[in-house]
Structure 1
Amino acid sequence: MAERIRRSGARRPARGRRQGPAPATGCANFCVGTRTVLFGGFLLATTALAGTPASADGWTIAMSAAEALWPVIALSACAVAGLVALRSRRVAADLGARMDKAEAEARDAGAAAARARAEAHAARILLTAGAPAFMAWSGRTLPVDVHGATPEAFRASLGAASVDLDRALEQLRREDGTVSQLVETPAGPVRLEGRSLGGAGVLLLRPAEATQVSAKTEAADFAEAERMAHGLAAALDAAAAPAWLRRPDGTLVYVNPAFATAVGAPSAAEARTAGLDLLDARIRSAALTAEGTAGTFRQRVKAVASGQRRQMDVVEVAGPFGTAGIAIDVTGEDVAKAETARTVAAHQRTLDQLTTAVAIFGADERLVFHNAAYERLFDLAPGLLDQRPPENEILEDLRRRRKVPEQADFRAWRAQLREAYRAIEPVNDWWHLPGGQMLRVVITPNAEGGITYLFDDLSEHLALESRYNSLIRIQGETLDGLAEAVAVFGADGRLNLYNQAFLALWSLDAQAMGDKPHVDAVAAMCRPLYGETAAFSRIRQAVTAIGPRDATTLRIERPDGRVLDGATQPLPDGGTMVTFRDVTDSVKVERALTERAEALEAADKLKNAFVGHVSYHLRTPLNTLMGYADMLREGLAGPLNDRQRDYLDHMRQSSDLLRALIDDILDLATIDAGAMELDLAEVEVRELVLSVAEAVRDSVDEARLSLAVNIDPAAGVFVADARRLRQILFNLLSNAIAVSPEGGTVTLGAIRRDGALVFTVRDEGPGVPAEVKETLFDRFESRSAGPRHRGVGLGLAIVRSFVSLHGGSVTVGPASATRGAPSGTLATCIFPLDGERRREAAE
């Protein structure tokens, strides 16, 4: 109980005591001062620890937790000591009062009971002054009386504080003493005070004084603020972002470990002591200017942190006792933004290369992005799309140009499209456009709102699919119409495709083929017809081979006498096509022709041997006849008359012709036998041409013709068989002389041209008929083309054979016509100057 109970006019001053101010007044004054000190210290500590404004005007106290806490502790200790002293004084005063009262009651023990009751009544009045309700009892075992309210209402007004009431009541009834404490009731804080003496006592409730409530509240607030300060300090110490507190002069009073790391200091204390700062002087000056006007500095600045140049968002807040700031590293954010921008640009470039049309609409239903395929597909004006039009406007434009499906209720259809903005799953649709296009449309809702349209123009795809199906049917019909048996095996070795000819050729059941049997199973079904040959082993190897595969051919002679030609062809998809063709009749004809060819070859060899043998034996008597004719012409047997000499000349000419014929036959036989060898050497072209011209001079004069020789000065020499070359030119000139009309001119020429030596023989005869050109160089082909033409038709065949042996070519055609002259015939022989080519032809 905070106040003494006095009996008005019934007590004298205590002996040995001097009168002074009431203890309650001194206590109150001391408490007010103490509470004021505590409250100020509390504000100082909470402001420093929490780093937040301690009053409504927004001031901050830039002090560290240690700087603020020690003054508070000291002030609190002084206040507590004063309260203890004050409480001791009050207790001593109360004990003295009780002792005075006991002494007075002992001296006045004989007073009347009426006086005692009057005093008790007066004391009760004094005790309950200002108390709304109280409890009193006269003995430890006597009942407790409640005054000022009913017992039920008294306890109900306390609420949860009734437990404290019961505890205090039990303590006072058990032993003499006092109780004084502050309890919380539903109506607010109330002070519970009680006293017991000699078994009697009183327990009352008084309204709590403002200073008492404030002290308790401030203590709780201080404890809470201290916890918050420690929590905030721990959070800042653990934060990855540099944080600091400055005094008004800019001196650092607190930095966290992240700040120390950023400035390269071993610890926060060393960073603060050394005065290391994260921000340069220019930024601090700008911050000071901003804080002086707006109270807060916010700016993205460049700073060096941990030895690296970084981008940081700096926030610094000013107060009356300094500033508090934090720097957040946003370098990664800038890099991420730049990377995101590059990624988006790359994606846009990629989407522009797609054939699929893409259009993205935002949550506001306006066009956000479109690729080039979208613009091409719907033939949209670039100016319209650059304005980010709403989807409704684009749909209206497409509807006007008949680029969307025809709809009986366009508004309902458009409203249905807009449902995609609230959908969760993608929507698939098909648009049949009036122009015949078929579009596959996929509408996908975006996570950030809006939708994405994907348009695939499948018109060509569907047309190709239709054509493909038609082609497959046509191919199937075509395969069934083929005479060849066709079977296609897949990469897994199973039969995928076959025609009717395959079934018929191998007597297979179509139902058994429906299960796509393996090549081994097909081979087992065909085994009765092909026997034990290794043909199907080669087919199986071609079908199931893993490595490189080549096309193969094979022949199967079945036991039933049929002959089949088979072939395997690897396919691009890993499969293998196998074909069978019945060549039984062809093989029979081939074998017959082979036997006939062998017989003809044997007969030809016999003929060549016979011709060579006969020609050799004919040359000997011919040489004898020619020798005796020469002897007779020389007059060795006596003088000859003109008729005899004429007979001998005819005999000599006939012998020369017969010898030339025999030589030609022997040469052709040698060529056919492959035994002809050229005697290659350097040949002087001019000498060769002149010698041949001189050899035919008599024939030219006899035919009353003219012989012209044209030799290119650059002809020079070339490698050839001179004897065979003379024979070629002699035969060509003889043929030209034979067909030329009397008085005509035969021209022999030689020229070097285009890496070859070209010999030409030109006559003025009737030319070569078209029907004769194809057989002109065949053997024994003789055509009466002039008055002096005769022979068995071996000259030109000899020419072609010898020219071919030299690696050259020979042609006969009409000569260039001159005015008033027949066109004649031009024979051209071309001999390559490439020695290797001539040697290969000769070999």
Structure 2
Amino acid sequence: MAFEGWLVVLTALAAGTVSVLAAIGFLRLWDGHRAGAAIRLRGDRLEPRLQPMVFLFRDRRLVDATAPARALLSRVAGPDDDWAKLQQWIGPRFPDLEGNLERISRTGRIDIQGNCGTGTAALRMTVEDLGQSLLRIAVTDPEADHAGIVVDSMSQQAMEEELDLLRRALDQTPMLVWRQDADERVTWANAAYLRRAEARVDGELGWPLPRLLDTPKPVPGAGTATRRAALDDNGIVSWYDCHSHRIGDQTMMFALPADAAVRAERSLREFVQTLTKTFADLPIGLAIFDRQRNLQLFNPALIDLTGLPTGFLTARPTLFDLLDKLRELRMVPEPKDFRSWRQQMANLESAAATGHHAETWSLPGGQTYRVTGRPHPDGAVAFLFEDITSEVSLTRKFRAELLLGAHVLDGIEDALVVFAPNGQALIHNQAYRSLWGDKAETLAAAIDQWEAKIAAGPGFEALRARLTGGADDARDSGAMVGPDGSLLGWSVLRLNGGRLMLRFHGPEAMRDGVAADIDSISDLVSAVGAD
């Protein structure tokens, strides 16, 4: 009886224990169901973000794609063809894509491991042939598989906005920007590069992109390399200043349009060539010195005039070295001492630098040079060496002839004076100065001077009428009372160029024409006798 009681108690305890364990298990099962529902709900919410990037093509035309795949195609700039856009994005990341796609017909499935780009993980692409010309392409990130990584929405938006800004800036810039790998294959390019590449390629543009320019290779440790390169597009040549910068095993290339700079340099070069040809034909020696007074430009006439060696001039000597060399060649004025000569050359340099300056050098060899200094922009100075020996000789000869003519005129006893057509007094001789005093500057002043020294009479009025044109029947000769009261004859001779020569002579030299004027002579004789 007691045993049965204990059995009932044990049975009740076991039933209670089982009930408690069942209740605990149920509760745990219920909590697990709720947690699983929450995880599934969260997974449903995250599913669009964690969807794989899958493309489905039929004969290279997009049939279907996942949301991330469509978002990728919408962000790729380029042609409207989806297959070309996918190639543009995949090409830089998966080398020899076309060769791998040719094997798909034999293998049915290929897995391609992509390159590891800067700041991104290595991608993996799986291509499957589904038959009926269907091609399934899946792009995955092996490091992100089953990771469930979710980016903060605000950070993602900020990164997308910055990425869009950078993409638009690079696509709108007029310069060509692209990236090359270690094998010099183009792995990325901006819109300007793509447009130039499309214009040069017949048909569709594939990857890797063609190289348009012969770009410089960056030197390790030297930073950026620069080179100017030309792009020939159907006979139209465009010039670019190419800059290369290495980033890891990739090289970023920047090509800035340089057409304006090339045109300016070509114009400057042609202008310099024109000036050089002009300077070469000048008989004047030219030497241009920069602000440090080093010789920068000279012409052949400088060598001919000074005898300076060509090798000396091409070595770009300084101004004072050139002057010292000229002194050695005895092509400068012989100075009293070296110090005074040095000071004279220093004065020449300073005067030429501040303004127009000219000197005449009488050389020991008998030549005469005119040295002219002119300031140039940016502190430069130019010197011109001109041989004026013949000019100086001609001037001296002309002056000697003038002096001889003056001496001949002074040796004539008659008083002579010549007037220009405008009445200006040109020349006179010593006899004229002795008779009338200093020469008057004009004909009118001379007439007043004569009238002041003599009393007006018939002979003088006839002279006045002849010189001023006051009478139509004016005579070319006559007689009048001279300053000393004696009889004085005069005659007017017309010279070439409208000039007039007036001659005063004594009674013994009076010509027959004057003596024939009996009335005038009688009046003059009476006037003289009365005195």
Q: TM-score, normalised by structure 1?
A: 0.32
Q: Relative contact order, CA 8 A, sep 6+: which one is greater?
A: 2
Q: TM-score, normalised by structure 2?
A: 0.46
